[in-house]
């Protein structure tokens, strides 16, 4: 039934229809008590070999979908909850109103205005809750479908504020990439025998069709009388089909045999690859259900390269695991994930006609000068991608904000500096000047897949990616492992600061320069030195730091919340003038000039030394000093405690904490 077939090509489709997940137990424990009107819906269950499970949930509030409300519950083999990964916080923030003031028709018009496609059709506007790390808003989601000017289909989601009409966010379901011609040589293909002919369909249900240069429809499944497919030439329509089918099979096999995932939907079922799309269409795309390839410039260069197939179909894996947003830093992680696994598929296939490398689209020649589309060793060589993380990364196109994670993948796999791999020269620098030793790409891919499938959520940023990857490395290889150290070191090498997850043998980053007794008082090393609530120590650009990028942003939720951060330090008995100093900036949406609804207190060993509220709003940083003379020769616990009421945010932003003298 499945014969050896001959053909030339690259690329392909992998798609698996997700089978119904087994019933999952509800979250347990006081930390996961649902809000009034909240419902949690299981979307997937991932099982580890030791019996542990990772259950993904979406949330609704009073029947409205909560976009950004996803979470993952982690249970051990006995069913006990060991932890929960939340997208935007444990407590479901509810919007200040449940009644839109903007009409559905106005929201629909905003969605149409946001689209750049032609032949547009917009869905009726759906009322949703749009949740971010700064709170919740009542909003509309409008889905606009059409065709872009370059022939790429578009299915654009636009989030419109239901009270102001402002566009809050948008993303497209259609993920595009780029490929090249027919290069894999003579390869085996899975086919199906029928009555007197064969079809290009394998045992998993991966099958390949010819669109005959149309832009819609399922296409016609390729058939052949003798089970020998294509001749390697562009003029033979089967040749591109060979490339696509081979890519689909290799992508499926990689996920199945290496990562233990039975395809995109993890249920063993394949889907369709469509070739010969459109007219001179210079792209390829994944649309959530199938893979589609254009024929390139003048219909002479089918975009069916192997790493392109793996890249595009890996968007499907991302959709069905962490479902990373295609905007902000999450968008960069989404794109880099596809570059990482597209490269992984190429290495897995180890095809002599498409030698594995750490370049993307190297055979496309899309630039006309023989250069690849992207470089993983130094992403900035393409002229637009970034090598290092920075606070402005989230404003870039995801294809360029993917650069730092691609850089991390290369560094963690191969190490820093100059080297030659499979005849290709690379020279990967680090952003912090440190040297990195690689652990091999196979281990890095397993670590990143575990981070993606177990710990990341839809709005995860680079800081979350670091924590998730270190956690995954510890799961797979141990807390004190060289693998964990390499993963952490590679994230530091792309300027992602240490967070709450560390390796057992990884020393914490040094404290800021000077003789401060407070560790990491400028917060540039993330959570290092501080314990308390997860989230307030951040580089979120919504509030400026006093210096650097990181600060402690307490409050700003617009809902009932209590947040704390603390650390202990010793005041030397020899200190001449021991003084605690910090900078604080307070802003509020509270309208009262009489009542302190939101408060923050600063305490030393449990005694309040400073108190603030929404009435203290100053709008700019002010320096505060506290005398520590009474604490000479003792250990001091410095604690910041914020309490916010049910509505109208107040932000208490603290930075550059120091104790010296």
Instruction: Give exposure, 348-373, as e/b (b: 16+ Cβ within 10 Å).
Output: bbebebbebbbbbbbbbebeeeebbb
Given a contact cutoff of 8 angstroms between Cβ atoms, the answer to whether 618 and 585 are in contact is yes
Cα 70 to Cα 86: distance, rounded to the nearest angstrom? 7
Cα 520 to Cα 155: distance, rounded to the nearest angstrom? 45
Cα 300 to Cα 53: distance, rounded to the nearest angstrom? 48
The tokens for 452 are: 């993606």
- Grouping H, G, I as helix, E, B as strand and the rest as coil, residue 129 is strand
Residue 619's φ and ψ, nearest 5 degrees, are 75, -10
Q: Which residue has the tokens 């030791």?
A: 50
Q: CA torsion sign, 79 to 81 to 85 to 88?
A: positive
Given a contact cutoff of 8 angstroms between Cβ atoms, the answer to whether 312 and 285 are in contact is yes
Residue 443 C-alpha from the chain's centroid:
19
The tokens for 460 are: 């995860």
Cα 152 to Cα 281: distance, rounded to the nearest angstrom? 8
Residue 175's φ and ψ, nearest 5 degrees, are -100, 120
Q: Count other C-beta atoms under 10 Å from residue 193's C-beta.
A: 12
Residue 312 known to be catalytic: yes
Catalytic site residue from 201, 312, 329, 346: 312
Q: Judge residue 414's burial from the number of C-beta atoms within 10 Å of its C-beta, 0-12 exposed, 13-18 middle, 19 or more buried.
A: buried
Q: Residues with Cβ < 8 Å from 433, sequence gap 6 or more?
A: none
Q: Count other C-beta atoms under 10 Å from residue 394's C-beta.
A: 18
| H-run or E-run covering 59 | strand 53-61
Cα 387 to Cα 653: distance, rounded to the nearest angstrom? 30
User: Alpha helix (H) ranges present in 287-419?
Assistant: 306-319, 328-349, 398-401, 403-414
Residue 483 known to be catalytic: no
Catalytic site residue from 276, 301, 315, 399: 399
Given a contact cutoff of 8 angstroms between Cβ atoms, the answer to whether 4 and 202 are in contact is no
Cα 26 to Cα 364: distance, rounded to the nearest angstrom? 49
Residues classed as catalytic: 312, 399
């Amino acid at each position: 039934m499945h014969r050896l077939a001959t053909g030339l090509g690259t690329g392909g489709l992998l798609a698996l229809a997700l089978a119904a997940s087994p019933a999952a137990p509800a979250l347990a424990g006081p930390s996961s008590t649902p809000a009034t009107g909240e419902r949690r819906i299981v979307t997937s269950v991932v099982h580890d070999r030791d019996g542990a499970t990772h259950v993904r949930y979406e949330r609704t509030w009073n029947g409205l979908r909560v976009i950004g409300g996803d979470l993952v519950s982690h249970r051990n083999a006995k069913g006990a909850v060991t932890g929960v990964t939340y997208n935007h916080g444990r407590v479901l923030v509810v919007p200040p109103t449940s009644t839109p003031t903007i009409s559905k028709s106005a929201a629909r018009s905003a969605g149409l205005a946001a689209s750049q496609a032609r032949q547009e059709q917009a869905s009726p506007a759906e009322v949703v809750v749009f949740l971010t790390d700064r709170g919740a808003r009542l909003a509309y989601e409008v889905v606009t479908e059409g065709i872009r000017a370059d022939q790429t289909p578009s299915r654009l989601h636009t989030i419109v504020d239901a009270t102001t009409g402002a566009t809050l966010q948008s993303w497209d379901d259609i993920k595009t990439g780029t490929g090249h011609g027919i290069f894999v040589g003579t390869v085996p293909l899975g086919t199906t025998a029928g009555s007197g002919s064969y079809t290009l369909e394998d045992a998993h249900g991966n099958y390949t069709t010819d669109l005959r240069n149309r832009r819609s429809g399922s296409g016609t499944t390729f058939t052949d009388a003798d089970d020998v497919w294509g001749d390697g030439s562009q003029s033979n329509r089967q040749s591109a089909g060979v490339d696509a089918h081979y890519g689909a099979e290799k992508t499926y096999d990689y996920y199945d045999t290496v990562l233990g995932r039975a395809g995109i939907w993890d249920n063993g079922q394949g889907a369709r690859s469509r070739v010969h799309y459109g007219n001179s269409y210079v792209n390829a795309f994944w649309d959530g259900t199938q893979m589609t390839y254009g024929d390139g410039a003048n219909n002479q260069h089918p975009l069916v390269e192997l790493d392109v197939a793996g890249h595009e179909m890996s968007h499907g894996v991302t959709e069905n695991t962490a479902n990373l947003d295609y905007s902000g830093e999450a968008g960069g992680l989404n794109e880099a994930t596809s570059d990482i696994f597209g490269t992984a598929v190429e290495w897995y296939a180890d095809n002599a006609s498409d030698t594995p490398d750490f370049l993307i689209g190297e055979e496309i020649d899309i630039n006309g000068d023989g250069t690849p589309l992207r470089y993983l060793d130094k992403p900035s060589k393409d002229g637009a991608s970034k090598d290092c993380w920075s606070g402005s990364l989230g404003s870039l196109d995801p294809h360029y904000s993917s650069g730092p994670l691609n850089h991390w993948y290369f560094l963690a796999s191969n190490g820093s500096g100059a080297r030659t791999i499979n005849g290709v020269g690379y020279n990967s620098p680090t952003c912090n000047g440190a040297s990195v030793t690689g652990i091999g790409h196979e281990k890095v891919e397993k670590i990143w897949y575990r981070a993606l499938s177990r710990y990341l959520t839809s709005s995860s940023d680079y800081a979350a990616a670091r924590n998730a990857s270190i956690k995954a490395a510890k799961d797979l290889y141990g807390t004190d492992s060289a693998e964990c150290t390499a993963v952490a070191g590679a994230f530091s090498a792309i300027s992602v600061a240490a967070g709450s997850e560390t390796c057992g043998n990884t020393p914490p980053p040094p404290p800021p320069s000077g003789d401060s007794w407070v560790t990491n008082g400028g917060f540039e090393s993330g959570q290092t030195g501080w314990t308390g609530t997860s989230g307030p120590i951040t580089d979120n650009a919504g509030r400026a730091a006093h210096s650097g990028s990181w600060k402690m942003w307490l409050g700003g939720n617009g809902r009932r919340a209590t947040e704390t951060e603390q650390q202990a330090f010793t005041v030397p008995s020899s200190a001449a003038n021991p003084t605690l100093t910090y900078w604080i900036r307070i802003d509020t949406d509270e309208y009262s000039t009489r009542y302190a609804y939101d408060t923050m207190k600063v305490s030393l060993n449990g005694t309040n030394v400073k108190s603030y509220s929404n009435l203290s709003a100053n709008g700019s940083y002010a320096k505060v000093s506290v005398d520590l003379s009474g604490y000479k020769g003792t250990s001091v616990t410095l604690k910041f405690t914020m309490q916010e009421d049910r509505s109208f945010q107040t932000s208490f932003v603290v930075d550059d904490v120091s104790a010296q003298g």
